Amino acid sequence: MKKVRIGLIGTGYIGRCHAIAYAQAATVFALKGEIVREMVAEVSPAVAKAQAAALGFARWTGDWRELAADPAIDVVDICAPNFLHKEMALEAIRHGKHVYSEKPLALSVADAEEMTRAAAQAGVKTLVGFNYMKNPTSQLAKEIIASGEIGEVVHFYGTHNEDYLASPQAPLDWHCQKALAGLGALGDLGAHIVNMAHYLAGEIREVSGDMQTVIGQRPDAKNPAVLREVENEDQASALLRFANGAHGVIETSRIACGSKMGLTYVVTGTKGAIRYSQERMAELALYQHEDAAGRQGFKTILTGPAHPDYAAFCISAGHGIGFNDQKTVEIRDLINGIAAGDPMWPDFAEGLQVSKVLEAIAVSALERRWIEVQGTSRF
């Protein structure tokens, strides 16, 4: 079986989740390629060494450029902070590596375009870690919509709200700095719900956005007595018009008290509707208007082996899969895409398209007018 040798850059929050998924993927799925946990890059050789040991990788380096250039690496998996995505991806592409990058793809549309173009020209494969669309429950949502069970989609409401910066005392970190994060809540969280909107309801063609930095200053991380400027938005909302004629709204916030994993959507069609909250990631609520009078209602479907990719984890319904299991599905797509040419989505083109929507929302908010979104994500 063809080996797919992974070079992982970054082993913080999401890099660790990638590593867990790599560890279990071959046991969960009958993969078309062999995962080789080849090398870890971290901020120093010492950290890299320790993390390679902890996460089951064979080699390590304190210099990610070394990893990108290493001939024994097939895929560069970028889990570094957002501001490094572009440089790392371009370097990996230059060395002919496939690239698996965390979202958001880049800090700007221009950067995302450059990366997408470079990958296309180099003929390498790409995947962006949007993650949530890999949950069997959201795959079920897609299946229900695609099959026409709720008719034509007429409305999409989606959120990705969290509260990790809800406290004004939470210190200023890289999320709040334009040079490191680009957009605020939009880039960090909004990227997920835009991707989900694409997946479930199709291309977004126009947006009217609004955004706001609610907590304008935060304590310096090292010296809390010093207040520093927050440079990007805490919350944002946008009216949407989809290519297929549907209307919609998305919202995102990093100060939404009480939302711990507030990716939610309500998709309304001409014949029914679905409702989902990632905090109850094993449940999809389905309403069908043609049900008998007196027997209408939202049905809570617990994801199970009748739904996409669930049975690989457990053959009984309602037993539940977790956050990292979504990543495992994504990594299955990565491995089968690279080893066997299976479709690999969402790719850089989709990452770029998400960036276009996010940037359009930000520009719309600044210029206070509707903005058209160009391009296509080809889901």
Confirm or reject binding of residue 235 to a second copy (CB under 8 A): yes
Query: What region, left, alpha or beta, does residue 111 occupy, with left being phi > 0 and alpha being psi -120 to 50 degrees?
Result: alpha
Rg of the chain (C-alpha set): 21
The candidate with the shortest Cα–Cα distance to 205, out of 372, 63, 9, is 372
Q: Are 127 and 334 in contact (CB under 8 A)?
A: yes
The reply on whether position 2 binds a second copy by CB under 8 A is no
Q: Which of 163, 180, 217, 219 binds a second copy (CB under 8 A)?
A: 163
Stretch that binds a second copy, among 21-29, 60-68, 112-120, 183-191 (CB under 8 A): 21-29
| Residue 36 Cβ vs a second copy, minimum distance, rounded to whole Å | 13
Q: Choose which of 269, 337, 346, 351 interacts with a second copy (CB under 8 A).
A: 269
Toward a second copy, which CB reaches closer, 92 or 197? 197
When asked if residue 314 is in the footprint of a second copy (CB under 8 A), the reply is yes
Stretch that binds a second copy, among 79-87, 161-169, 173-181, 337-345 (CB under 8 A): 161-169
Which residue from 35, 27, 26, 37 is spatially nearest to 3, judged by alpha carbons? 35
Place of tokens 């793809």: 105
The reply to whether 146 sits near a second copy by the rule CB under 8 A is no
Strands 34-41 and 3-9: parallel
Pairing of strands 217-219, 227-229: antiparallel
Within residues 27-46, the interface with a second copy by CB under 8 A covers 27-28, 30
For position 120 contacting a second copy by CB under 8 A, the verdict is: no
168 binds a second copy (CB under 8 A): yes
Q: Rounded to whole angstroms, how far apart are CA atoms 274 and 284?
A: 7
Provide the 8-state DSSP code for 202.
-
Between 94 and 299, whose beta carbon lies closer to a second copy? 299
CB of 202 to a second copy, least distance (A): 16
Q: By CB under 8 A, is residue 185 in contact with a second copy?
A: no
Please report whether residue 319 would count as binding a second copy according to CB under 8 A: yes
Sheet containing 204-212: give its strands across: 283-288, 272-277, 262-269, 153-161, 247-253, 235-242, 204-212, 371-372
| Site membership for a second copy, residue 362 (CB under 8 A) | no
3-state secondary structure 238-256: EEEEECCCCEEEEEEECCC
Which of 24, 177, 217, 376 is the binder for a second copy (CB under 8 A)?
24
Rounded to a whole number of angstroms, the minimum distance from the CB of residue 39 to a second copy is 15
The H or E element containing residue 371 is: strand 371-372
Distance from chain centroid for Cα 346: 9
Q: What are the structure tokens assigned to 295, written together?
A: 């027997």
Options 119-127, 196-204, 208-216, 335-343: segment touching a second copy (CB under 8 A)? 208-216
Q: Which residues inside 340-359 make contact with a second copy, applying CB under 8 A?
A: none
Residue 260 sits in the site that holds a second copy (CB under 8 A): yes
- For the bound state, the minimum distance from the C-beta of residue 201 to a second copy, rounded and expressed in Å, comes to 14
- Distance in Å, CB of 46 to a second copy, minimum: 16
Binders of a second copy in range 44-103 (CB under 8 A): 54-56
Is 379 among the residues that bind a second copy (CB under 8 A)? no
Burial per residue of 167-198, b for 16 or more beta-carbon CB atoms within 10 angstroms, e otherwise: eeebebeebbbeebbbbbbbbbbbbbbbbbbb
How many C-beta atoms lie closer than 10 Å to residue 246's C-beta? Answer: 20
Stretch that binds a second copy, among 68-76, 108-116, 304-312, 349-357 (CB under 8 A): 304-312
Rounded CA-CA distance 65/43 in Å is 12
Nearer to a second copy, 17 or 105 (CB): 17
> Smallest distance, Å, CB 261 to a second copy?
4
100: nearest Cα among 123, 86, 118, 79:
79
Minimum distance from residue 282 beta carbon to a second copy (Å): 7
Q: How far apart are the first and last CA of the chain?
A: 29
Selected from 2, 94, 117, 299, the binder of a second copy by CB under 8 A is: 299
- Span interacting with a second copy, options 82-90, 96-104, 243-251, 335-343, rule CB under 8 A: 243-251
